[in-house]
């Protein structure tokens, strides 16, 4: 098997990008994703599961563009399945293409299974992504955790999020393991009413005064995002915009649990329905170039099944 994979990270969150051609059939990215799920899911498990991968990794596969006006297509996947969009992953993919000499500074468009997005590769290697339209679905949905009442907003930013302001508690000073368990419990309560939600974001005070907020983001597969989460920051901006707390064009600096930062702002798509187009800026670093080897005698060459790790 000839499979080349480039590793990068964006704000500490890894992206493992397949740059070899994989024959995914379909007339849309969503159809190609379904084809990959059916016929090539072993590539996902081989790259993300142990012993070759790590559960925290997000994978990406670069596709030829379906519409010739676009630069490329991309499918994102993780330890348990496929993601609609991925902000840190998009920035990782753009840096990967730049590192390979396949992308020059300027504006490019990428096809994803939730819609086309624009990316600007800056001369200094930062990337700004203009995400899909993002919006809030529900405000102040009440839940009870350990006897405490919390309010969640539900919003879409390329993936579906439950967003909870926990700045009145000391939650964000707790360990990642503790927050993971709390977020899993929150998610199970939220999904009774909003089954589409698969990410949880807890917001609190930033560590650095330069930033507006700090977040802990639980992703599907029960890993937390080391970056501030591009789709999560988009969902956050949709809530701020709907509440009139952030005007269009103003920069919002979102700090991640580990202290990395995304700069974000938005423009209205439709002010009446409070739908916005968020822009997220950050940069990624390539940190590996892997030739995948699949030894037919290796019982775990396609990854260890998750129920055994």
- Binding of ligand PYC by 58 (CB under 6 A): yes
Of the listed 113, 219, 229, 239, which one is catalytic?
229
Site string (145-184) toward ligand PYC, x via CB under 6 A: ----------------------------------------
- Binding of ligand PYC by 219 (CB under 6 A): yes
Compare residues 11 and 206 and give the one whose CB is closer to ligand PYC. 11
- Binding of ligand PYC by 231 (CB under 6 A): yes
CB 20 within 8 A of CB 4: yes
Give bridge partners of residue 15 from the DSSP assignment: 8, 58
Distance CA 244, CA 163 (A): 17
* DSSP-based three-state secondary structure for 43: helix
| Out of 14, 53, 230, 303, the residue judged to bind ligand PYC by CB under 6 A | 230
CB 24 within 8 A of CB 40: yes
* DSSP-based three-state secondary structure for 29: helix
- Binding of ligand PYC by 225 (CB under 6 A): yes
Nearest distance in Å: CB 243, ligand PYC: 22
Nearest distance in Å: CB 89, ligand PYC: 6
Compare residues 117 and 229 and give the one whose CB is closer to ligand PYC. 229
Is 229 a known active-site residue? yes
Distance CA 238, CA 224 (A): 21
CA distances from 58 to 22, 116, 145 (A): 18, 20, 29
Where in the sequence numbering do the catalytic residues fall?
A: 86, 229
């Amino acid at each position: 098997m000839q499979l080349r994979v480039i590793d990068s990270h964006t704000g500490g969150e890894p992206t493992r990008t397949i740059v070899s051609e994989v024959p995914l059939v379909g007339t849309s990215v969503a159809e190609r994703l379904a084809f990959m799920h059916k016929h090539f899911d072993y590539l996902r498990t081989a790259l993300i599961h142990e012993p070759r991968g790590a559960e925290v990794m997000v994978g990406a596969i670069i596709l030829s563009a379906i519409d010739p006006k676009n630069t490329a297509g991309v499918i994102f996947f993780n330890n348990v399945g496929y993601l609609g969009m991925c902000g840190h992953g998009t920035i990782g993919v753009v840096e990967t293409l730049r590192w390979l000499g396949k992308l020059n500074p300027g504006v490019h468009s990428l096809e994803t299974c939730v819609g086309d997005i624009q990316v600007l590769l800056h001369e200094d290697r930062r990337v700004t992504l203009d995400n899909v339209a993002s919006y809030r679905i529900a405000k102040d949905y009440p839940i009870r955790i350990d006897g405490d009442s919390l309010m969640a907003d539900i919003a879409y930013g390329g993936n579906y999020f439950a967003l909870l302001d926990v700045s009145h508690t000391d939650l964000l000073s707790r360990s990642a393991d503790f927050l993971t368990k709390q977020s899993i419990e929150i998610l199970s309560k939220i999904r009774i009413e909003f089954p589409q939600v698969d990410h949880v974001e807890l917001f609190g005070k930033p560590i650095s005064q330069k930033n507006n907020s700090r977040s802990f983001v639980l992703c599907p597969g029960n890993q937390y995002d080391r970056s501030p989460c591009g789709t999560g920051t988009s969902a956050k901006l949709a809530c701020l915009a709907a509440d009139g707390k952030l005007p269009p064009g103003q920069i919002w600096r979102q700090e991640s649990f580990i202290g990395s930062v995304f700069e974000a702002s938005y423009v209205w798509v439709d002010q009446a329905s409070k739908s916005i187009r968020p822009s997220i800026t950050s940069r990624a670093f390539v940190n590996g170039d892997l030739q995948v080897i699949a030894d037919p005698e290796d019982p775990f060459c396609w990854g260890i099944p998750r129920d055994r790790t």
